[in-house]
Structure formats: structure tokens, C-alpha cells
A and B are shown apart, each in its own frame.
Chain A
Amino acid sequence: MEKDSRWILREMVTQRPAVTGTDDAATLARPDADDEGFLRHWIDVVADSDTELARVLAARAVDARRRMDREDLVVWIDTAMHTFDRRGLGAAIAVLEGWERFASERFERRNGLPLDEVSGVLERFVAGLGGRRLELRSAAYPYTDTAAIYVPALLARLPEREENFRLYKAMVAHHWAQTVHGSWRPAVLATLRRFPDRQRALAVFAALERERLDARVARELPGLAREMQWLRAQCDGAAPQPASWAPFAAVLRRHGASAEDSLRLIAAAADTSLPAPACYHGRFLPDPVWDVLTARIDRERQRLAVVLGKLAEEQDRAQPGRSLRAGRAGGGRFQLGTRGGQAGRADLRFELRADGRRLEPPDELRGLLVSMIQDHGHLPPEYLAVSAPAVYDAGANERTGTAPDYHALFDDTGRYTYPEWDHVRGRFRTDYCSLRESDVEPGDPQFVTRTLARHAGLVRSIRRTFEAMVGEVRVVRRQAEGEDVDVDALVEAHVDAWRGVEPGDRVYTRLVRAERNVAVMFMVDMSGSTRGWVNDAEREALVLLCEALETLGDRYAIYGFSGRTHKRCEVYRVKRFDEPYAAAVQARVSGIRPKGYTRMGAAIRHLGHLLDGVPARTKLLVTLSDGKPEDYRSYRGRYGVEDTRHALLEQRRRGIHPYCITIDREGGDYLPHMYGPASYAVIDRVDRLPLRIADIYRRLTS
């Protein structure tokens, strides 16, 4: 396409002061032909969205090209366009104008190592080390609050990525050691508070703990300790330890040294000069730890009461007459024994006994106990007492305990964001579509009964056909092995042998059960164009389909979709996978009504995501529609078709088979492109839809 880019580019080159001089300068400033084509392409792409933005880009593209390679340049332009999509022109221009900072950040990012790239490995690494589950978050400097380990979002301290990864690992391991080896027990925090000069005491304590934990890591994880040594040599130089430090180090390097030893040494070490921390050591911040710790101790104690209460109740039910709850006759307590190691050790095992009977501790209990022992160093015995009321109060506490999460959830209930494929840009617009999930308003409950009565004959035949498909056990003949002898094949083999021909060895029969393992998601078009006949036909078709699927026992869900611009994509629940086909669902089927436009991409991505979570061997995503994707403004025509096609491709990659049933007679033009050949059915008359749909489904899944 021949667009404004040519004159924009010409203008930007001629406008540049340096270029107005000699011809030489002009050729210098002018990008080579290949680059020019590249830049012009992107200016065109941007001009598609906004001319002004393209003008701003054109004015900076040549300079930016000198500092960035093409890949970075594309990321830069892409960032600007995303910003434009989400926050408008002003913000997008700011991105383009900040190209110099962008270029240097990209440079750093390329040579440094961002946390995002390695957090998956590091999180598992720290989980493997044992103890309470620790999250990994980014912060300006490393520290831990005992619920998460904070590390910088980007490390560029060492020249190689691999070396920066080692630094990350050492940071994470050191802070893991703090949480597991008792640097942050409530008693320690309380003692630290009592020092008159808290700041100094904390600094000394931190130095002592670093010494102790380094020694401990060296004993337990020698391979990691070697890497830590190497990092110290690289980053921290060979700063010698102050001579006065040696006696303290000697105490703390002993086997069995604890945080209490560090606390005891604070007074003695108060005036010595402290060794410098290593590059992987972070800060010791008692305040965030205190907040997290106190909240967690309360929460876990309540949780434990709930879990033990439930356990006691189960026991009571299993063995009536012997109540474990205090306050009843024969009331008792739980006893907990641990085997094999102390806090943070992977082989810590629990033996739970209730009045001398051994119980299998549930997984949840195990996690709680690990965390509690990590906080206290042991399990306070009073925690194991089960009092009758606590069991019931704790239910409420449990809810308040998770309140913060609830809150976060509440703000965003039923809202999801999905990317959209922009075929012009050749890439995704990330988090572009905002999608909301809600229930269909229930409609006339009589609709289903009426439909079933109207199509009584059809319903009977559907039931018959589909019943025959359930649990078919077929005898397969002529098998190399099987349960029984296939007499026909045996006779033939005999005859062959008798004639001197080599007889076949497939002389057995085998029973094969065709087990159905199908989950199907129906995606019903609720766009405005379905008003009238189409909507009625859709609803009737769904009623008949539900009959068929109930007979068959396949798992299925029904969702409607519509949309009006990318900010308001809607998905309407008619039936979830785990919902039974009952009155509520029937009312919702009859309540399906035309709404906005057909923005299909986001709906496909969302429903595909739901379907992906269902365990089934065969997964189908069946769209019931009356036409091609269409939405207000840009989603019309090729753009919408391409996004839909891309969304369907994504589902295929997940192992979901998309299929489309449409009543658009022109569907044959674009459906093969969107769904692929043999993945769609065009129904030429609306009133035929209910008759055909069960048949199509049968063909599809047998």
C-alpha cells in the first residue's frame, strides 16, 4: 500500500538541520535503501492507527535506528502502539520521545538478566531446598519478609547472563537460609527490640547471621557454597576480614550454632568493625518480617484448629463414643511426633496420634506444621489442643484469614483480559480485550417443555441413536491376540496351511470398549443479528442437543458470547461443565437473547481456556453462529476474520478441535479459512438447525 510514509520520510529527512547542508550529509543521514523500506513499513503500520503518531515516529526513526538494532526498534514501536491502544496518543508520543532511555534500557536488559526470565527456575529451586513455600518478588535490594524473597528485577552486575543467574541463585539461597535456619523467629525479633541502640544491634546481628548462615550453607550445600565463594571473589574483591572478627566467626561456624548464639554475641561484638557483606547478602529488615510473621502465626494457628477439628470430627464419626474433643466424655488431645530432622529439613516426618491411635496427617496439615515449626523451632504443645467451640468459630476465622485474597478477587470478579491478533502489525495486541463473564438472565421455563413436545418424535430418535453410542463393546476380529478364537479366520488359516500357503496369524477376537471421553464447549452467538428466527432456532437446537448429550453422558458446557468494542467483550454462562442439566440451566437456555456484536476472538480464547481445564481425551469447541465476526469499527472484515482464525489456531495448538455450525449461506467463503476444511457445517435453512445439530454432533464424535 502506498501511504503517507513516503512524504513523511522525505519530510523528516529534509527537516533535519544536519541534512540541509551538503549532499554528502544528506546521504549520510539518509538510511540505506533496505532500512528505509523497513522504517517506511513501520511508519505505515503506525499511520494505520494514527497519523500524528506516525509523524512523531518518522521524526525519530532515523536517529533511533542508529542506536538500536531492528529487533529493538520493533519492540520500541510496538510498545508505543500498545500504549496508544491503552492510554491514548499523549502517552504513546511520550514513549517515542523517550527513545534514548529506551535504547539504553534495552541494552542493559540484553546484557543483564531480568528476574522474569529465571523466576520459574528460581522459585522451584527454593522450593526444592525445602521449608515453607516462598514467593519470589522484585524489589530494589534483596531481603526477605519470610513469606517472599525480594531480589532486584534485573541483575547486570556481572558481565555474563550465566554469572548473573548465579548471583540470583546465591541471593535466593541466602535468604531462604534466613527463613529456614531461624534468623526470624518471634523470640529473636523480640530480643532485638530490647537493645538500647537498635540500629547498631541490628547491624551486628546481621553480620553475625551472615557468618553463621554462610557456614551452614557451606556444610549443607557445598556446591552452592563454592559458587558463593566465586561470586565474592568476582564482586567483592579480596577484602580481608577484620582480625577482631575471627573469634566470633569461630563460634558461629561451629556445627549447631543458632540465631540465639548470634544474639548472645551482639553485646560483645558491638564495638568491633564488621566484615563487609557479600554481593548476595541483602538487608535485614525486621519490620516487614514482624508484620508478616505475626499475621501468619495467628492465621496458621486458627487454620490448625480447623484442620484438627475436622480430623477429630471424622474420628468421632468413625469411632462413636470416643470423642477427641475436649469437654466431652473421654475427650483427648492429639499428640504429634516428628521423625528425621529439624525445621527446614526435607525428611521431616510427622506422626499424628489421637488418643494413641495413629492417623494419617492430611497434606494440608503437613504444610501447616512445616511452616509453624519453621516459625517457632518446635510446635508449641498447646496448639494441638482441640476445643469444641474452636472448631466452629474457626470456620469464620478461616474466611477472614483469606480476606485479603478475596478482596483482590472481588475487584476483578469475572473480568479477564485477552490479547487480540492484529494481522496488519503481524503481532498481538497484549491484554487488549477486556472480557466479562456473567450468567444469562433466566427466561421462560416453559420454553424447554414446549420445544420437547413440539419435537417429540425427533427427541425419541435422538435418544435412541445416542443410547446406541454409549458403552459400545465391539468385538474386533482377526487380531493377532485376543480373548477368543475367531473361527472364520481360523478356518481360512487352516485352508491356507493345507494349500501350502502361509497362513495368517490373526485368528483371535478381542473385545474393545469404545470409551467416550469427550468434553464439548458450545459457544452460542448472541449478537444482534441473531434476532428473531435465528435466536429461536438456536435455542431449540440447544434444547435438543442437551437431550442428546445427557443420553450420551459427555461433559458439556454452553456459553453465549457477544461484544461491543474490545473493552466490552461479554461471555454469558448458560451451563458450566460441572453444572447438572436442571431447571436453572433450562431457564437460561430459554433466556438466550441477542445482544451486541460478534467479537469472536476474545470469546474463543476465554472459552478455550475453560475447556482446556477439563480433563478429557477429546475436546471440542463448537461455535453456533449466524455470520462472520463483526464488531463496531475495526473488527469488521479481514481484521475480525484474522483474529478469529488466530484464536482458533491457538486452541488447536492446545489440542482442542474447533468446529463451526453456521446458518450464513455465504459461510462457505470465509469458513474454510477460519476453521480449516471439514471443520464447519453450513445449514441453509434456519428451521433445519434443530433437526441437524444432533446429527452433526454424532458424526463429529463417533
Chain B
Amino acid sequence: MTVTSVRTQEVLLDSEPYYEPVGAEVEVFAAAWGNRLPLLLKGPTGCGKTRFIEYMSWRLRRPLVTVSCHDDLTAADLVGRFLVKGGETVWVDGPLTRAVRAGCICYLDEIVEARKDTTVVIHPLCDDRRLLPIEKLGEVLSAPPAFCLVVSFNPGYQSVLKDLKQSTRQRFVALEFDYPQAALEARIIANEAEIDADVARRLVQFGHTTRNLKGQGLDEGASTRLLVNAAKLMRSGIAPAVACRSAVGEALSDDRDVLAAIAELAAAVF
């Protein structure tokens, strides 16, 4: 009878996701989790934040609940709401509530996109109280030790509207992510897409040329994710220039000059 709005499944990964540590992030995460501290992951899109969380979820053997925040995501979407089922109203837990009840890792991706009223539920959960108030049920959940709240945020969007408030960010242990160093990035691409190390190295070089264009027609350069996509196309026999254009260029911009320049850069590198 009704459409349920947010229906995120908790996932327990059974095989190890591929992840290359860049610094001490694995240890920091584990320590924060052990001390019941929430985490904030900063970094540009496609640099491996989500993969890192998956890896940590596997490593800590905790199920993962992921919520991608959008600008219409309200506190009710996270906590839960009454739904109408067969002539009765039934309470349905939101993903955050489910994660708290089950002691999962709850990952709120791009938290700044969510509506401001979500802070009401996030704040008490993030300090030492670790409480989730469910207003409509008159209930207050206390988070079990295994529960961990992780939010991510891309500081690259220099918009006043898309900034995290101090009162929010100061509740988190922050980990900064960036695109990995060239050699490591090449290894990641080679592993993810199963391509030749030399091609991966060239792809990284190409990626850097697009990152140089940041501020000159591009808001962001090619992320590791885009480079992996290009590598996968190439493994399937697509010519490098075409793969770079489709997987990277077109994904980054619609501007004709920028696209042409990216195509030329790809042609120059390969």
C-alpha cells in the first residue's frame, strides 16, 4: 500500500574488500571504534572513503549500514516513522535506529547534504551520552559499544551552505583522505582493474593532468574511482583515448574546450 522511503540494508561483508592503507587510518579507526568515538572522513570524491569503511566493517566484523545523504534527507528518514500497513499505523525503524539497535557501523555519506534537522539526532549520539532519542515513540535508545557512527564530508565544495558546523565537527575524530601518492595509486588501479602496471602508471599520470585543471574549467580532477573505471574499460579492449574520454572526461565536464583539452592530454600521455 505504501512506498517505504529509506530502506537501507545492513551488510556484513564475507570477503575482504581490497584496500591499500595510505597512512595510519586503519589503526586510528580501530582505536576510535574501541573507544566509542564517532569518526569524520574528509576528502574529495572517489578517493576511497567508502571503500575504507567497507574494509573496516569487514576487519572489525561489524555489519555496515550506509546512508547516502541528499538535500531532502530529514531526521525522520534516519530515525524512522509511522507507516500505514493494512489499515494500521506501524512504526518502522530508520537506518540509524536499526544500526544503533544492532550495534552496526552506520555510515552517513556526504553528511552536509542532509537537512539541518538531522543534527538533532546526530549530536546526542556523537558525544559521550551516545543516545538516540526517538521522539515519536517517546523512547531513547542507548547505543551499544559496538555501534559506531561514521560521517563523510567533502571540504572541496567551497560553498557556505555546504560547510559543517563547528558544533558538529568537533564531536568527531577526523581522518583526512586524499588521492594516494602516484605509485600507490597506480598499484590500486592495477589491482582493481587487473591491468598492466605500466598502463596504470600512465593512467595516474593522466589523472594528475586533469587534477592540474582544477580551477581552470574543472571543479575537481579525476578521482581514483574514475581512473579505475577507465582502466576497466581499457582492460575490456577499449582504446586508451576513448576510455579516458568516456570514463573521465565526460564525467568531469560538459565544457567543450575542457573536454577537448582532456582528450588531448589523454592522447599525449598514451
Contacts and interface: CB of A to CB of B under 8 A. Distances in A.
Contacts of A494: 87
B3 A341 contact: no
A499 B142 CA distance: 45
A169 interface: yes
A124 B257 contact: yes
A347 B205 CA distance: 9
A346 B212 contact: yes
B166 interface: no
A128 B76 CA distance: 45
B26 interface: no
A121 B213 contact: no
A493 B85 CA distance: 11
B87 A483 contact: no
A169 B211 CA distance: 20
B258 A339 contact: no
Contacts of A381: none
A65 B267 CA distance: 43
Contacts of B257: 120-121, 124
B251 interface: no
A339 B264 contact: no
B167 interface: no
Interface in A334-361: 339-341, 345-347, 349
A173 interface: yes
Nearest to B74: A483
A701 B217 CA distance: 33
Given A121-B257, A128-B209, A128-B212, A480 B3 contact: yes
A221 B258 contact: no
A497 interface: yes
B89 A128 contact: no
Given A121-B260, A223-B268, A340-B182, A128 B84 contact: no
Contact of A507 (B76, B84, B181, B270): B84
A169 B260 CA distance: 12
A221 B87 contact: no
Nearest to B253: A124
Given A129-B209, A347-B182, A221 B269 contact: yes
A480 B181 contact: no
Interface in B178-230: 181-182, 204-205, 208-213, 216-217
A347 B179 CA distance: 10
Interface string B126-148: 00000000000000000000000
Nearest to B136: A484
Contacts, number: 99
Contacts of B74: 483, 511
A221 B270 CA distance: 7
Contacts of B208: 130, 345-347
A373 to B, nearest CB: 15
B121 to A, nearest CB: 13
Interface residues of B, number: 37
Contacts of A503: 1
A485 interface: yes
B213 A127 contact: yes
A277 interface: no
B18 interface: no
A220 B21 CA distance: 28
A120 B204 CA distance: 24
A136 B205 CA distance: 23
A481 B181 CA distance: 45
A684 interface: no
A288 interface: no
A490 interface: yes
Given A221-B269, A222-B270, A128 B213 contact: yes
Nearest to A130: B212
A435 B167 CA distance: 48
Contacts of B216: 123-124, 127, 133
B231 to A, nearest CB: 17
A104 B264 CA distance: 31
B262 interface: yes
Contact of A224 (B82, B181, B267): B267
A125 interface: yes
Given A128-B210, A128-B261, A485-B84, A223 B181 contact: no
B160 to A, nearest CB: 10
B201 to A, nearest CB: 11
A125 B264 contact: yes
B245 interface: no
Contacts of B81: 483-484
Contacts of B241: 223
B15 interface: no
Nearest to B240: A223
Contacts of A160: none
Given A128-B210, A347-B182, A490-B89, 13 more contacts: A121-B257, A122-B261, A123-B216, A124-B257, A124-B261, A125-B261, A125-B264, A125-B268, A130-B209, A480-B3, A481-B5, A485-B89, A505-B1
7 contacts: A121-B257, A123-B216, A124-B216, A130-B209, A130-B212, A493-B84, A505-B2
Interface of A: 120-125, 127-130, 133, 169, 173, 220-224, 227, 339-341, 345-347, 349, 480-481, 483-485, 490, 493-494, 497, 503, 505, 507-508, 511
Interface of B: 1-5, 74, 76, 81-82, 84, 87, 89, 181-182, 204-205, 208-213, 216-217, 241, 257-258, 260-262, 264-270
Q: Which 8 A-B pairs have the closest CB atoms?
A: A346-B208, A124-B261, A120-B257, A224-B268, A128-B209, A483-B76, A121-B260, A221-B268
